[in-house]
A and B are shown apart, each in its own frame.
Chain A
């Protein structure tokens, strides 16, 4: 399984500002995923970050609000732009395990707990 770290682990931000979350994986992976988990809700996929191409966003999420970078095969960032209290959530990055074996289980970073005031 992959070991994933995220920074920051938590932050409290003022509305209108932006926060960039970093995700580092201990092995090279083709795809990295960014999820949001709002209080009492399940995980919702924001986008898939592919190295060397633009991220693929899910319905309801746009690049202007959640720009993503993927400069190499072990690192990605997600920016939450122009934040509002509705963006308060846990943001998680993940990778698929065992790309070589074709298994689809996902491994998650510890998450970034964001509170927007």
Chain B
């Protein structure tokens, strides 16, 4: 089983829709989680950090459920510019730091 698993999609949603991605992780020692956005042929860029209480940034909300070992990303009022691949990332520290990337979920917002 992969340490960080995502549905690769693609998710095709109309402009203005709300879309949610889930990401599951297998390493219960993972401490921090992040969502990155990667545009085609570009490097990943940090979208949001996800800590125990979750967080919200404008149209984006990230939640962490440690009991079920999953992270979610909710995008409200989707824009065409939200089209990208969203990478779920888990961070484990404590002697040996390890960052694990999911394969990414591709989102295509259509007019």
Contact = CB atoms under 8 A, between A and B. Distances in A.
Interface in A71-117: 92, 97, 103-111, 113
Given A42-B101, A42-B102, A105 B34 contact: yes
B41 to A, nearest CB: 8
Contact of B44 (A33, A43, A103, A113): A43
A106 to B, nearest CB: 7
A103 B97 CA distance: 12
Interface string B23-51: 00000000010100000011111100100
Interface extent on A, as a size class?
Answer: 10 to 19
Contacts, number: 39
Given A42-B104, A106-B99, A111 B93 contact: no
A104 B93 contact: yes
Contacts of B89: 106
Contacts of B43: 92, 108-111
B101 A105 contact: no
A110 B41 CA distance: 9
A45 interface: yes
Contact of B99 (A41, A45, A107, A110): A45
Contact of B45 (A33, A41, A104, A108): A108
Interface extent on B, as a size class?
Answer: 10 to 19
B103 interface: yes
Nearest to A58: B98
Interface in B60-109: 87, 89, 91, 93, 97, 99, 101-104
A114 to B, nearest CB: 13
Query: Ordered nearest first, which 3 A-B pairs have the shortest CB separation?
Result: A108-B43, A43-B101, A42-B103
8 contacts: A1-B46, A42-B104, A97-B46, A104-B97, A105-B34, A107-B46, A111-B42, A113-B41
Given A43-B44, A110-B42, A113-B41, 11 more contacts: A41-B103, A42-B87, A42-B103, A44-B101, A45-B99, A92-B43, A92-B44, A106-B89, A106-B99, A108-B43, A108-B45
